[in-house]
Structure 1
Amino acid sequence: MKKLVLALSLLCSIAACSAEKHPASTSGTEHPTSADLKEASTMKIRLTINGMPTTATLIDSPTTRDFIALLPITLKLDDYASTEKIAYLPKNLTTQGAPAGIDPAVGDITYYAPWGNLAIFYRDFGYSKGLIKLGRFDTGVEALAASDSLTILIEAIPR
């Protein structure tokens, strides 16, 4: 009987520790929103859009680390659906550990895995399967709405 009580106590302890490591989403939706994604370990990047510099903060994830390995990079951003600017990357990024999709917010820098492109949102948009958040503009996202096509230089900012 003592062994059974001890075994049940051990199982309850393990379950409690596991629950602490995997908190429930705070958004109240079944799909993760931009706010649900942790930004525990971050990196700053500089984005120069048609000669105008701004900054963004990237989150730490396998997809983001793959993206950082491409920096510095100059891309041509084209408008897509009057909502986002997109550019095709020179290689596909890993999707290891990524959610099935996200609900992007204005200013989000994302990777759209099905097409292999960078997507930066300057207007609100709904949940998209295959969309992975890389980070978020700190300021200056309004510069993206200025024209249909833009040139952007993205580079890491040393710590």
Structure 2
Amino acid sequence: MRRDVSAAAMLSAALIGPAELSAAQAEPGPGHWPPSMQTKKVAAMNAVRIRLASPNGESVTATLGDGPSARAFRSLLPLTVELTDYNATEKIADLPKRLPTEGEPAGVDPEPGDLAYYAPWGNLAIFYKDFSYSRGLVRLGRLDRIPDAFRRSAPVTVTIEAVP
């Protein structure tokens, strides 16, 4: 046994035996992560990155979730929309068709940077300020940052596309 082994390792060796200790210290292989870690790893592997680019050259990337609404939104891409200011809190745009919301939460409490779908109106919403819980709002994903143009009251035209 090495002299620099920690007290915890020695206690583990005493309790579970040397053969089990080497297996317990080994890095878990695929499928051996705790369920919460497996979910996070799978979600990270399945994450879809998108880019919102404006004609002036400014762009921002975002990560979409894996819910039914986010998957349906992905199927619309590439998409060019004009984002208009709403309530000095968010930019909104009409979508070419309504997204499914079955299996989604009844609503969310949006935060700055959230990309969402407001089912009652059938529109895309990008929050640049905090807002309260809204029934019928479905979080689609999250922007990496909020572009300055989104914080202004002027409309912004963006092309939204999947990042290869």
- Paired with 1:139 and 1:123, the residues of 2 have a C-alpha distance of 12
* Aligned 8 A contact 1:49 1:143 in 2: no
Larger radius of gyration: 2
- Paired with 2:116 and 2:55, the residues of 1 have a C-alpha distance of 20
TM alignment of 1:35-46, pairs within 5 A:
41-46=46-51
How far the C-alpha of 1:42 sits from its partner, in A, is 1.4
Task: Give aligned pairs, total.
Answer: 124
Matched AA of 1:74: T
* Aligned 8 A contact 2:88 2:153 in 1: no
How far the C-alpha of 1:142 sits from its partner, in A, is 3.5
What TM-score do you get using the length of structure 1 for normalisation?
Answer: 0.72
1:12 aligned residue: none
Structure 2 spans left out of the alignment, 5+ residues: 1-34, 36-42
What TM-score do you get using the length of structure 2 for normalisation?
Answer: 0.70
The answer to whether the aligner puts 1:63 opposite 2:69 as a matched pair is: yes
**Percent identity (aligned):** 55
2:106 aligned residue: 100
RMSD: 2.1
* Aligned 8 A contact 1:79 1:85 in 2: yes
TM alignment of 1:4-153, pairs within 5 A:
41-51=46-56, 52-153=58-159
* Aligned 8 A contact 1:42 1:57 in 2: yes
Structure 1 spans left out of the alignment, 5+ residues: 1-20, 22-38
* Aligned 8 A contact 1:72 1:156 in 2: yes
